Amino acid sequence: MSTTTDAPAPDQGFRLNQLIYDTRYRSMTIQIVALIVLLTFFGWLINNTIENLEALGKDFDFGFLGQRAGYDINQVLIPYDSGSTHGRAALVGILNTLLVAVLGCILATVVGVLAGVLRLSKNWVVGRLMTVYVEAFRNIPLLLWIILIFALMTEATPQPRAFLVDESGNADASMLLWDSVAITNRGVFIPAPVGGAAAWFVVGVFLASIAAIFLWRRYAVKKLLDEGKVVPTLLPSILLFFVPTLVVFFLLGRPISLAYPELGGFNFNGGIQVRNSLVALWLALSLYTGAFIAEIVRGGILAISKGQTEAAYALGLRSGVTMRLVILPQALRVIIPPLISQYLNLTKNSSLAIAVGYMDVRSTLGGITINQTGKELEGMLLLGLFYLLISLLISGAMNIYNNRVKLKER
Amino acid sequence: MADMHSEADLAFVRETMLAQKEPPIAEQGALKWLRENLFSSWLNAILTVLSLLLVYWVLAHTLPWLLRGVWDAGSLAECREIRDARYGDGVDAACFAVITDRWQQLLFGFYPRELYWRPILALLCFFAAIAPVLFARVPRQMLGFTVAAPFLIFLLLWGGTIWGPLTVALGFVIGWACIAFLTKPLGRLVATIAAVLLPIIFWLFLAGPLARELGNILPIGLEPVGSKDFGGFMLSFVIGVAGIILSLPLGILLALGRQSDLFLINKVSVGFIELIRGVPLIVWLFTASLLLNYFLPPGTNFDIMLRVIIMVTLFSAAYIAEVVRGGLAALPKGQYEAADALGLDYWQSMRLIILPQALKIAIPGIVSTFIGLFKDTTLVVFIGLLDPIGLSNSIRATTDWNGIYWELFLFIGIMFWIFCFSMSRYSMYLERKLTREHR
């Protein structure tokens, strides 16, 4: 009685139209056609490039990185002068980009979290104020903000000369924070930390005590999980943070001191001069990105349903513990991925430094070096690779984080 | 026994209801609102006072400056004379005369003055064309105009003979005809291949000579205007709108490519998206202006604005691809399986089942990408195009308006704010309209 309905199709051998109509082969056909088209296209591009380079009498090599740069950079983190190489100029630029990116990420996070939380507050004035901030910064181009803040820094701040005290003891402008910070139209002057070899010892102790705090917290969690004993963490953490460093600092006879900026003639000497270009770029990037972060934080907090809070209360958790153990871990899962992509955006947007003349990697490697050596192709390639590398590193780290906090569904 | 509780036993009986008492003063009206919204706790009170102080400080510094604004003057020096005469020496006063003097430049760049009607008409055409796409209440017949509008707008903005846009449009007609008339006799695959290849061949080899010949025979057209004369908000708008319209389909294709099972397509899409997203737009713009000549056959040189539009399109397409991918990933797997179970092929299931839902989820992200693109059009100033910020620099460079900052920034900022804010409001409206969940 058994009838086979799925008799094998009569073997007719391979026919050419199976390449298109048979799903087993069709994907292969499509991919091979795509590969051919793609290779042809790239071959065409490379061929054109080679021909164009020959016509211009240029070659493709990175030797220019070892040549003398011959231009000055006004804001440097590592020693550099006009006799240094193009490679070193690029490195200075890279460090400058990273400097403004890191500073920007920190301030943007602070501003963004504050604004996001305050925007949810029941306080009408504060809520409206934060809405105005967020909508203003999100809907106006970053470039305009950078130029605007730079104009504010250079046009609306006093000259260093205004800080001079005249005979009657008055000055047109005064320094902030107990005479340690001076905001002028030539830049912001801040105290510089000065210290010898012993200073590094203090820094080392400080780092060690930070590590000790983490170890103590891990020990406390382990103790709680294994034996159910609650080990205090807050007070030991605070003590560990301050005490060892301060003790070493005073035992070694205060090896770190601050060199304050002082008015000499018509300009400030000593301390660190932070150029207005850096300050303007930093503030604009932070405020702009902060507006986006505020929305992310607000969305993250709103995304946690009220039932979670109520369930935690029903279990008898207090509000602080509820926040720390129930709400925040869930909100962070929503907040962190877009937050990190905002950090990435900030880093890429720092290339707008060109608008205020801050010497980031695009201005050194991708700007003056290209103009001086005529190596557009190599310079832009390196510049692109640098940004791509940063972006891939950060998104790689984000993927690892996402996989760690992902909801474990069964 | 009967009447134990006679009225005489009771000392007092209330016979009328008392009128309702007023709530305490602190629990009603403005005072209650103040207490609950502004001073509910110490922290809140401090925050309120601080923000009021901040608002006062900002207004005290800007409001007098704004209100004293001088609107009618020919130069900054004249502006200052009027201000000194009116309010006394050196008082802070805005000089909005720069806007009244130069607003045409800020809007149109160096577009010939007598031809301003063309960009204005083009803008009206754009609104008429976009209306049926944005709002369902507009009659559907308007969609026919939407199809024709790009060619009309191109003609209005750049001028030249009408045959250029017409021959380009003819290419699309050829593609459509291939699908319509070749599908029956030759099968869908051949028709699709023909619909892609024939127009490309036509554009590459036939369109140019054909347009030239027709132009010689029947020279109908408008006075040509070069891209270098474009500027101001018109430039931002052209680049932004072109980028937005072109990047959406490309972005969707890239997102589908990234979801694809085909190894090569998948890897190429991922590579393209990551490459574009990893590098700042400004570097891509410099690539377009410095390096494109290396990659093209020797001697080719094409319009800087076209280059910028291509770069901006590719850039935002990569971002849109990621947003759409998020929408695709958020759909339950059952939707894909249901589409397969209905026997739909890949493109049918995408078109009818998957994409409508995925795009709906992705709307907020897509619109914020568009807003980002529109804001990023300001970056073209670095490769020598005169966007509003570039024009503000060149206005400041003239002797008349040397040293004027804030008024120009204010004007540009407000214009951008209006465009971007209305885009974000539209996306909220669309989201609400498309919600299908029960509430």
pLDDT-derived band of residue A408, with 50, 70 and 90 as boundaries?
low
**Distance of alpha carbon B417 from alpha carbon A134, whole angstroms:** 12
A25 vs B contacts (CB less than 8 Å): none
DSSP state of A181: B
Could you identify the residue written with the tokens 């036993």? B9
ipTM reported for the complex, 2 dp: 0.85
Q: Which residues of B71-81 are buried (b: 16+ CB within 10 A; e: fewer)?
A: eebebbeebbe
Confidence band, pLDDT 50/70/90 cuts, at residue A89: confident
pLDDT, tens digit, 9 for 90 and up, residues A307-335:
888 999 999 988 778 888 888 888 888 88
CB B407 within 8 A of CB A161: no
Stated as kind and residue range, the H or E segment containing B77 is helix B76-87
Residue ranges of domains in chain A: 86-141+276-405
Taking the CA atoms of residue A368, residue A372, residue A378 and residue A380 in that order, the dihedral angle to the nearest 10 degrees is 30
Report the distance separating Cα A290 and Cα A346, nearest Å. 10
pTM: 0.84
Question: Which of A26, A39, A118, A143 has the most B C-beta neighbours within 10 Å, making it the best mutation to test the interface with B?
Answer: A143
CA dist., res. B254 & res. B272, Å (int): 9
* Beta partners for residue A194, in sequence order: A257
Task: Point out the least confidently predicted range of A68-72, A397-401, B126-130.
Answer: A68-72
Listing DSSP states for B109-163 in one string gives TT--GGGTHHHHHHHHHHHHHHHHHH-TTS-TTHHHHHHHHHHHHHHHHH-EETH
Look at residue A1 and tell me whether its pLDDT is greater than 50: no
φ, ψ dihedrals at A275, nearest 5°: -65, 150
Which residue in the set B55, B262, B413 is minimally distant from A31, CB to CB?
B262
Around Cβ A159, how many Cβ atoms within 10 Å? 14
| CB contact (8 A) between residue B424 and residue A136 | no
What stretch of H or E contains A190? Answer: strand A187-190
* pLDDT of A8 strictly over 80: no
Query: Would you say A35 and A349 are in contact if contact means Cβ atoms under 8 Å apart?
Result: no
B48 to chain A, any CB pair closer than 8 A? The answer is yes
Question: pLDDT tens, A175-221?
Answer: 666 666 777 777 788 777 777 777 788 888 889 989 998 998 888 88
Mean pLDDT for all residues in chain B? 85
d(CA B270, CA B101): 50
The CATH number of the domain covering residues in A86-141+276-405: 1.10.3720.10
A52 touches chain B (CB under 8 A): yes
Q: Do A151 and B405 touch (CB under 8 A)?
A: yes
Q: Which amino acid is at A175?
A: M
Of A125, A380, A392, the CB nearest to B283: A380
Residue B255, min C-alpha distance to chain A (Å):
17
Count residue pairs from A and B with Cβ separation < 8 A: 150
Q: pLDDT band for position A9 (50/70/90)? A: low
Q: How far is B345 from chain A (nearest CA, A)?
A: 11
**Chain A contact present for B405, CB below 8 A:** yes
DSSP structure string for B225-267:
--GGG--HHHHHHHHHHHHHHHHHHHHHHHHHHHH-S-HHHHH
Chain B residue whose CA is closest to A387: B279
